[in-house]
Structure 1
Amino acid sequence: MNIIHVIVLAIIEGITEFLPISSTGHMIIASSVMGIQSDDFVKLFTVAIQLGAILSVVVLYWKRFFQTLDFYYKLFVAFLPAAVFGLLFSKKIDELMESALTVGITLFIGGVILLFVDKWFNKPDVKEEKEISYLTALKIGFFQCLSMIPGTSRSAATIVGGMSQKLTRKAAAEFSFFLAVPTMFAATAKKLYDFIKDGHVFTGEEIKLLAIGNVIAFIVALLAIKTFITFLEKRGFQLFGWYRILVGGVIIGLYLSGHNLQIL
């Protein structure tokens, strides 16, 4: 992995992490095109640069993180299902990550679903996070578990989950962003722990690449979140649905034609 790879992957992470289009699917295509050889550091890098994306949420919504403890209790309740399922099925999740076909199919199916969610959930009555009940937070947390299937998109799963509980598109998207903070932090911490536990020691070059990747992911995610919220309120999910269908179709086509897709 070189500096060009880092810049490209960090930009992709920043754009796709909070959009309902799956960062995993885009990482697969980008890594295949650039010929990145997957190793332990590359796998760690694609998770660790999420810290930059997390920081963008905290910076953009910093006032919301200084509310009552009720805000944090709801995030904790919503985070619990993914934490439990992640620990119980970590090996199975890793196995699924090795399947490019799984990613392509999941992207495609998720795209079809996004074509219709605006019609299915068109009578929202929950406009703000403070109106979300603990039971609703828990249900959204179970939806987040679907994102453990590569290609689903954590953002898509939680936003659709929120809309199914009568949240507006904006409220569902923002709660998805907030929920990303503990979820992505925990995933990054576990990946770092596993990396160090396996005897790896960071080189100076690896630390530099991680720092550059996180800074770029942070800046790009700032722009992506603000643009996404504005677009979502005006246009809904159909464009994202068609885009997912296209990307999923490309991955499936490349896989079936015998291309060796690198899984990060």
Structure 2
Amino acid sequence: MDTLQAIVLAIIEGITEFLPVSSTGHMIIASSFYGIAQDDFTKLFTIVIQLGAILSVLVLYFKRFFQSFDFYFKLLVAFIPAVVFGLLFSKKIDALLENPLTVAISLLVGGIILLKVDDWFSHSTETEISYLRAFKIGLFQCLAMIPGVSRSGASIVGGMSQNLSRTSAAEFSFFLAVPTMLGATVKKCYDYYKDGYVLTEDQINILIIGNIVAFIVAMLAIKSFIGFLSKKGFKIFGYYRIAAGIILLIIHYFIHPLTII
């Protein structure tokens, strides 16, 4: 991976992390077209730079993170399912990260679901998040371990299924991303070193650049998304996912198999 590729992937991450379109899925597709998707450092990079994007939440919602200890316990409860499933299925998750075809199918199926979400949960208007609601949202978030599902999309839909408003569900999804991606980054780095890899100086610089770019782009994307979501809902993201999924499937079956791009 060179610096330009890292910047492109980081921009994609910053834009898509908080949209229900799957940032990981988009980075897998982009890195596949670059021919670096199966490289071990690329897999590390696509996880680690998500932390840069997520940290933008701490800046934009700084005061909310210090509102009460109860808030932290709710985040912890919501985070637990990701810890359990991540530890149990880490190898299978890594295998899926090499398969752009999985992303294509997930984009298509998820898009169809997003077209219906606003109708299914039009009654969702509450703002209070109980411990049980937090845990259920955490279970929904685990669906995003399948590349292409979208962590933010799964957790927002999970929140709306618990009668939360779109805005409340989206904001809790942002908050939940902080411990989730911090944990994912620590585990991925640990596994990388456990497998005998050592980061070079150039790779460390690429990770730093990637995180900075993802952080800046995500800062610009978050508030725009919240405003758009509260007014327009999910349908446009559903159409986008369906279109992207169909295009990728056409490429796979008629032009070039996605698994070996």
Tell me the TM-score normalized by structure 1.
0.94
CA RMSD of aligned residues (A): 1.6
Q: Give the letter for the 1:167 counterpart.
A: L
Q: What does 1:72-83 align with in structure 2 at a 5 Å threshold?
A: 72-83=72-83
Q: What per-residue deviation string (whole Å, max 9, x for no partner) do you get for residues 25-58 of structure 1?
A: 2113322333336311111111111121121010
In structure 2, the residue matched to 1:159 is 156
Q: 1:235: which partner in 2? A: 232
Amino acid across the alignment from 1:91: K
Matches within 5 A, 1:89-108: 89-108=89-108
The SS at the match of 1:166 is: coil
User: Which consecutive residues of structure 1, in runs of 5 or more, have no partner in the other structure?
Assistant: none
1:215 maps onto 2:212 in alignment: yes
Is 1:144 the counterpart of 2:141 in the alignment?
yes
In the other structure, the counterpart of 1:52 is: 52
CA distance in 2, matches of 1:78, 1:92: 22
Aligned residues: 261
Choose between structure 1 and 2 for higher RCO, CA contacts under 8 A separated by at least 6 residues.
Answer: 1
- Tell me if the contact between 1:31 and 1:262 (Cα under 8 Å) persists in the aligned partners: no
Amino acid at match of 1:82: A
Whether the 8 Å CA contact 1:44–1:195 is kept in 2: the answer is yes
> How far apart are the structure 1 equivalents of 2:39 and 2:144?
23
Cα deviation 1:81-120 (Å, max 9, x = unaligned): 1110111111222232233222111110100110111111
Say whether residues 1:135 and 2:132 are aligned partners: yes
Q: CA deviation at 1:148?
A: 1.1
Alpha-carbon separation, structure 2, partners of 1:21 and 1:123: 23
SS in 1 for 2:258: coil
1:43–1:183 Cα change, 3 Å: same
| 8 Å Cα contact 1:81/1:145 also seen in 2 | yes
Q: How far off is 1:70 after superposition?
A: 0.4
Does 2:251 correspond to 1:254? Answer: yes
Q: Does the aligned pair in 2 maintain the 1:144–1:158 contact within 8 Å?
A: yes
Q: CA deviation at 1:224?
A: 0.9
CA–CA separation in structure 1 for the residues paired with 2:23 and 2:237:
13
Do structure 1's residue 182 and structure 2's residue 188 form an aligned pair?
no
Structure 2 counterpart of 1:74, one-letter code: K
Per the TM alignment, residue 211 of structure 1 is displaced from its structure 2 partner at its CA by: 0.7
For structure 2, the 5+ residue unaligned runs are none
Q: Give the superposition deviation at 1:222.
A: 0.6
Contact 2:13 2:50 in 1 (8 A): yes
Distance in 2 of aligned mates of 1:146 and 1:5: 28
8 Å contact from structure 1 (residues 28, 262) kept in 2 = no
Residue in structure 1 matched with residue 85 of structure 2 by the alignment: 85
* TM-score normalised to structure 2 length: 0.96
What CA deviation, in whole Å up to 9, does each residue of 1:54-84 have, x standing for no partner? 2101000000111111000000000111110
- Greater CA drift, 235-244 or 24-33: 24-33
Superposition deviation, residue 126 in structure 1: 1.4
> Residue 40 in 1 paired to residue 37 in 2?
no
Separation in 2 of the partners of 1:215 and 1:28?
20
